[in-house]
Structure formats: C-alpha cells, structure tokens
Amino acid sequence: MNSRLPDPARRRAGRRTWRQALRRDWQLYSLAVLPLLFFLVFRYLPMLGNVIAFRRFQPGGSVFGERWVGLRYVRMFLTDPTFWDVFTNTLVLGALTLLFCFPLPIVLALLLNELRSRRLKRFVQSVSYLPHFLSIVIVAAMVMQLVSMDGTVNQFVRAVGGEAVPFLQQAGWFRTIYVSSEVWQTVGWGTILYLAALTAVDEDLYEAARIDGANRWRQTWHVTLPGIRPTMVTLLILNIGTFMAVGFEKILLLYNPLTYPTADVISTYLFRVGIVSSNFSYAAAIGLFESVIGLTLVLSANAISRRAVGTSLW
C-alpha cells in the first residue's frame, strides 16, 4: 500500500492534535456520526445490556435492570440439566455441520476446477449458488414438504418396501435433516472463495511437479491443497467463530417439542426462555455465556492457526 503523502507530511499528520484534525476533517467526521451512532446504539449498547444477566430485570423498568443479584442466574443455568442438554446439542450439531460443510465446498471446488469447458463450469457454479439466495423460511418449507408423509423421501421409502416415517417428529432424524439441508444450501456458495484461490495457484509449481513425475492426484495433494491452505484456514476460523450460533433460525423453524432432545440448542432454548417466557435476566445470562464462548473459540482458533500453520485472521 503506498502512502499518500510525502514522508515529512505524514509525520506531521501523525502528530496532529485532535483539534487540528477536527478542524481539518470535520466533514469526514460528520459522515461518520450516524454510522457510529448505529454501532453504539445497536451493537455496543446491547453488549452492555447484558449486565441484566446480573441484575433482576423488570419489564417496563430500567433497561439495565433493577437490583443486583450477582451470579444467581449464572448459577441457575449451570445447575439446570436442560441447559447442559442443549449445550451438548449445540456442540454436536455444530461439529456435524463443520464436519460436512467445511470440506465439501473444497471438494466441489476441486472437482469444478477439473472441468475443461468453461461454460459448463460456469453453469454448474451458477446452479450451485442458487440455494444460498433463498430465505431460510423457504428452505425450511421445502424440507418439510420433502420429508412429509407424502413427500419424496417417504415415497422412496415406500417404494423399497418400508413404512412411511414421520421424520420431523422423530428426534433421531433431526441431525440428518438439519445437516443435509445445510449442505444443500451452503456448499455451492462456499466454493466461490476456493475457486478464486485455485486460479491463483502458481502454474509453475504444477509444471515443476509434473517434471518430477507427479500425476494428477499427487499434484493436487502437493501443490493445490497447500496453495489454498490460507483460504481454508481463514474460513475455518470464521466458521468456528459462528459455531455457537448454529443454525438458530432454521432450527427454530424445523423443530418441535418432539425433537427437542436433539434439536434444541442454546440459542433456541434462550429464545423460549427469554422471549416466550419473558424470563429476560436468565436468558441474558445464557446469551452472555454463548457470546463469550464464541469469542473464546475464535480467539483460540486464531491463535492456534497462527502457531501451527502461520496464517491467521489478525
């Protein structure tokens, strides 16, 4: 990145006082006022608002709660068996999602990369991105139609001689349904970054590998994959960061009391406790826990990747 001002001027700019800066750039700062207000009010204020996790909240009273009750709510959810059930579910669903939705776009990108016809490649890509643009309500509705008693899946089951299964009413099937629909919706879109990274891999490396006698598979293993490793790592870190918020909206749309044992996750439990039952402080405590874990995960993943692989987000 080239500096925009000659050196002496830059040094001067760095030592400019706030007063001078404001006088010189007040118009720029003015443009930032409304956005900053947005961040303050709708992003940072709620972070502070989590303090109600430690206070007793009365609806209609102060936004920050009435009385300080300390760790009462934290202790409440730590000893709540339902909480640990949903915590487990969150981990399981998150891990399953990561297990399937992380590698598959890479595989698909590699396969697409082997297509010789550019038009065909573009066609498959365009089709594969389509599910990403659908509202989650549409996806959930489609899933419901497909696994309903008269839907395609049960038609197939009956065709091979089995009994129709009410999939959405059985806790045992929820994970499969959830992960499959997640794969359907995200794999195509996930290939974008990988395909871009693939075209950036230095052609000379392939040439060198070929001269050394490497066939296609070895070339892929030794040249391609290491070449896209920074992209993989970055996306992995980002995915781990969103781990805890695993599919909140989709689960909310697809679950029901019968599937709570496997489907209920921290965010949906929090929703029921907080919004439906209006138990705000308790829910806020859980939410804070969720956010802290998420942040910890991202920071750890980042640190680990920096240590182990050399690339990290910051």
Partner 1 sequence: MTIDTSAPAPATGRRHGAHTSRGYRVFRVVNAIILTGVVLVTLYPFVNIVARSLSDNAYIVSGQVNLIPRGFNLAAYRAVMSDPMFWTSYRNTVVYTVVATAASIVLTTCYAYVLSKRQLKGRTALVGIAVFTMFFTGGLIPNYILVTSLGLKNTVWAIALPNAINVFNLLVMKAFFESLPVELEEAAAVDGLNTYGILLRIVLPLSKAVVATMVLFYAVSFWNSWFAAFLYMDRLDLFPVTVYLRNLIAGATDATSTGGGLGSASDVVQSAATIQSVTIVLTVLPILAVYPFIQRYFVSGVMLGAVKG
Please select the residue that binds partner 1; options are 11, 23, 47, 226, rule is CB under 8 A.
47
Instruction: Scan for tokens 């296609």, then name that residue.
Output: 216
Taking the complex as a whole, the smallest distance from the CB of residue 241 to partner 1 amounts, in Å, to: 6
Q: Is 45 in the site for partner 1 (CB under 8 A)?
A: yes
Nearer to partner 1, 114 or 307 (CB): 114
Which of 69, 76, 101, 124: binder of partner 1 (CB under 8 A)? 124
**What sign does the dihedral 204-207-211-216 (CA atoms) show?**
positive
For position 13 contacting partner 1 by CB under 8 A, the verdict is: yes
Q: Which of residues 125-164 bind partner 1 (CB under 8 A)?
A: 126-131, 133-138, 140-142, 144-146, 148-152, 154-155, 158, 164
Nearest approach, Cβ of residue 176 and partner 1 (Å): 15
Please tell me whether residue 78 binds partner 1 under the rule CB under 8 A.
no
Single residue of 85, 100, 179, 271 touching partner 1 by CB under 8 A: 271
Strands (E), the chain: 55-56, 67-68
> Which residues inside 24-43 make contact with partner 1, applying CB under 8 A?
25, 27-29, 31-32, 34-36, 38-39, 41-43
Site for partner 1 in 153-212 (CB under 8 A): 154-155, 158, 164, 168-169, 184, 188, 192-193, 196, 199-200, 203, 206-207, 210
By the rule CB under 8 A, 46 interacts with partner 1: yes
Q: Is 68 in the site for partner 1 (CB under 8 A)?
A: no
Of the pair 97, 185, the CB lying nearest partner 1 is at 185
Q: How many residues bind partner 1 (CB under 8 A)?
A: 114
Which of 6, 7, 8, 117 forms a contact with partner 1 (CB under 8 A)?
A: 117
